[in-house]
Amino acid sequence: MSDLTVGREGRKIMRFTLPMLIGGVVQQMYSVVDSMIVGNFIGTPEEATRALSAIGATFPVFYALISLIIGLASGATVVTSQYYGAKQIDKVKASVDTLFVILLISSAVMTTVGLLISEDIFVLMRLPKEIIPEAKLYLNILMGGLFTALGYNGIASVLRSLGDSLTPLYFLIISTILNVGLDLLFVWGFQWGVAGAAYATIIAQFVSFAMGIIYINRKHKFLNINLLKLKVDKDIFFKSVKIGLPTGLQQLFVSVGLFAVFGIVNKYGTNVIAAYSVAGRIDALAIIPAMNFSQALASFTGQNIGAGRVDRIQRGMSATLWMSGLFAIIISIIVVIFSKFLMSLFTDNQEVIRIGSEYLVIVGSFYILFSVMFSFTGVFRGAGDTIITMLISLLSLWLFRIPLSYYLSELYGEQGIWMSIPAAWALGMIFSAVYYAFGRWKRKSVVKR
């Protein structure tokens, strides 16, 4: 555990971020490896392109189904970090129990919903008919392992709330190596196609979740997570919902927005869908540093606002802008220069490579905007001021990016869709900076002093 309320702010945040950064890259390798192995080891080039499109189409659906859960869970972890910063250990235990009750109940509900609507939702997205069977199969298998996937992320969030960002990394490295091995066995060896990639993912996630539970119960006995004996603290539950629900709604509206964007992409055919899916995997890797600095800053803010140290939060924010921004610039240069090479790691289809590299050049040139925006939202989430992050997200996505995607796609084809992404980041960054300057987030602590 690490006390983030003392010591040099920038150094603390960097040391806290680095394990998360490595872990974020490793965790993202689940989907990257799935796509690489599917793209290179399934049948003919046409079959591989169809499989890549199916996996890519599954992402916004899966994300939509778990978005509310992620939001509610994030509320509980904010509460945990603030109570830990205030040194109220009994409340820390109660908030962790409450987190896992939320995860258990909500994942059971969403698994049922996902299995019932899996085919209809792809039809609604206007996914080409030849892709739907594989997309449905991939999604159904992922939904079967939903609780263990969320459970690992819950364990990792709890440890980060306590200032420990290194231990979750060890579990993740082990499970990712297992995932790669199982991917090769199931997809290449057994020829199970997209089903093999999905099975490999859920088995590996179960292993990381089990290791996390065992570790916490041995090393942090005051938490003592027993899934059969969880207790809900009503006060903490409602505080978690108050903080987490806006984030969950934000994630839900974002995922529905991704449906709308995917609907625009789908009209351009299988090659564009596959290119968008693969480039999105690379994109997700590229923005990991910004997201991890944001998560670290959220934990840093949570502990320090619980301790009444707003001055440290402001200095931490300044340091994070510099560090995260430097990472973003370096990654932009790499992605833009090597865009075609990166795409070729996933597919031999030259048209898919061309389209995907255009996406990476357009979007990858502006990662700095995403980095700055997420640094601000890290402070807001750590302080418990999640309504504003929801409003900014909805404004930049629904009132700006989606209409702009429709308009620009009519003028420039699929490239117009790519152009709308950095434009939306710019708008979100401006609104976040203005709200941070007003300082309303400073009065959002849930801890009574």
How many CA atoms, within 13 angstroms, populate the side-chain half-sphere of residue 270? 15
How confident is the model over 57-74, as pLDDT tens digits?
888 788 888 887 877 777
The Cα 59–Cα 32 span in angstroms is: 12
> What digits encode the pLDDT tens for the residues 14-46?
988 888 788 778 777 777 877 888 888 887 778
How far apart are the C-alpha atoms of 104 and 111, rounded to whole Å?
11
pLDDT score of 2: 62
How far is it, in rounded angstroms, from Cα 56 to Cα 183? 17
Q: Please tell me the distance from the alpha carbon of residue 320 to that of residue 316, in angstroms, as a whole number.
A: 6
pLDDT band at 376 (very low <50, low <70, confident <90, very high): very high
pLDDT (0 to 100) of residue 53: 86
Segment 234-269, tens digit of pLDDT? 888 888 888 888 777 877 877 778 778 888 998 888
pLDDT digits (tens, 9 = 90+) for 170-180: 888 888 889 98
Three-class SS state of 43 = coil
Residue located via tokens 């859960």: 69
**423 neighbors 404 (Cβ within 8 angstroms):** yes
What's residue 447's pLDDT? 61
Cα–Cα distance between 251 and 253 in angstroms, integer? 6
d(CA 329, CA 139): 35
Predicted pLDDT at 385: 83
Please report which confidence band the pLDDT of residue 284 belongs to, taking 50, 70 and 90 as the band edges. confident
pLDDT for 445: 67
pLDDT at 6: 79
Angle (deg, nearest 10), helices 45-85 and 288-306: 10
